[in-house]
Amino acid sequence: MYPLKFNPILKERLWGGTKLKDVLGKDIPNDITGESWEISTVPGDISVVSNGDLAGTSLQELIDKNSEAVLGKSVVERFGKEFPILIKFIDAKQDLSIQLHPNDELAKERHNSFGKTEMWYIMDADEAASLIVGFNKNVSKQEYTKSLEDDSLLDLLNYENVKEGDTFFINTGKIHAIGAGVLLAEIQQTSDVTYRVFDFNRRDKNGNLRELHTEQALDAIDYEKKDDFKVDYDREKDIVNDMVACPYFTTNYIDLTKNMEQDISNRDSFTIYMCVGGSATIENKFGSASIQKGETVLVSADSKKVLLKTNGAKLLEVTI
């Protein structure tokens, strides 16, 4: 298959804003648009091809018809005919709720779902914008529970100021929140299971408090203080820089000033390119697709070589 682009699935969120339009050029439906799901097979939110002869075809249809060609044999053996990751851009005009995600075992037992390991690449951040990632000290379950009761949870949390290019790896169980003024690219396991533990007592447009998952979260939280989240990666130009490698996805950073040809014949996996700066054309022997900042392309596993054509582009390259 030629490199595939998909119609973004745009999500209204209580905390959303307009950066998906203002910075990434997306045609958002309103000024509280918080997420653009770029590649998804989450039931009810399945991506549809937007370019070429396959336009109008869903990603799930393509996988069902020829799963190994799209995903790769090893990926099918692990995950079956389900696309194993979910690709998003997120705009937080307001702070997101403080939350965490269960691991695979808990998610399977409780929700018949994968867990949700994820990573964030900061694309744009207002001055003094920050994230919450983990605790600022080791916390007992009793101390955590008491902080919910006396409204002091924020005192236990670790805050990280951020700027463009900063990257964070969020393993399951780690309490976290995206702060106001942050626009980021998110790569995660295919899962929409979130345990919300604090939401700043906000109300939705109907005046209702959003549901909290206090009890479910208690056995899912990692209460230890860990400094394992900030990703230190090289940013050399015109080479592939290792960024994140975990059992669920591998992400590389590529800052191009000129064309690059890649031999991907030994991957046995699809490859995703998220454009986080500039523009490029992604080409294989079956065709090509042009992308600019805020767009995403999927290259199927049956591709042996890819030509990245550009005068300047920053790409996140994602495989399994």
Does the pLDDT value for residue 207 go beyond 90? no
- Reported as a single tens digit per residue, the pLDDT across 72-83 is 999 999 999 999
Q: Are 9-218 and 240-319 equal in CATH topology?
A: yes
Does the pLDDT value for residue 84 go beyond 90? yes
Question: Which residues are known to be catalytic?
Answer: 196
Does the pLDDT value for residue 281 go beyond 90? yes
- Find tokens 């295919």 and name the residue: 190
Which residue, among 163, 174, 157, has the nearest Cα to 119 in the 3D structure?
Answer: 174
Helix %, strand %, coil % for the chain, to 5?
15, 40, 45
Tokens of 252: 């590389």
105 is in an annotated binding site: no
- Reported as a single tens digit per residue, the pLDDT across 108-131 is 999 988 889 999 999 999 999 999
* The pLDDT value given to residue 73: 97
Which residue, among 286, 283, 280, 287, has the nearest Cα to 316 in the 3D structure?
Answer: 280
* The pLDDT value given to residue 191: 87
This prediction has a pTM of: 0.95
Does the pLDDT value for residue 210 go beyond 90? no
Give mean pLDDT, residues 186-197: 93
Q: Where are the beta strands (DSSP E) in the chain?
A: 9-17, 33-39, 41-42, 45-46, 85-92, 98-100, 118-125, 130-135, 157-161, 167-170, 176-178, 182-189, 195-198, 240-245, 250-256, 260-263, 271-284, 287-292, 296-299, 305-319
111 is in an annotated binding site: no
240-319 folds as: Jelly Rolls (2.60.120)
* The pLDDT value given to residue 78: 93
* Whole-number Å distance between alpha carbons of 93 and 35: 11
How many angstroms separate the Cα of 65 from the Cα of each of 5, 54, 204? 18, 13, 41
Give me the residue spans of the domains in the chain.
9-218, 240-319
Q: Which CATH superfamily is domain 9-218 in?
A: Jelly Rolls (2.60.120.10)
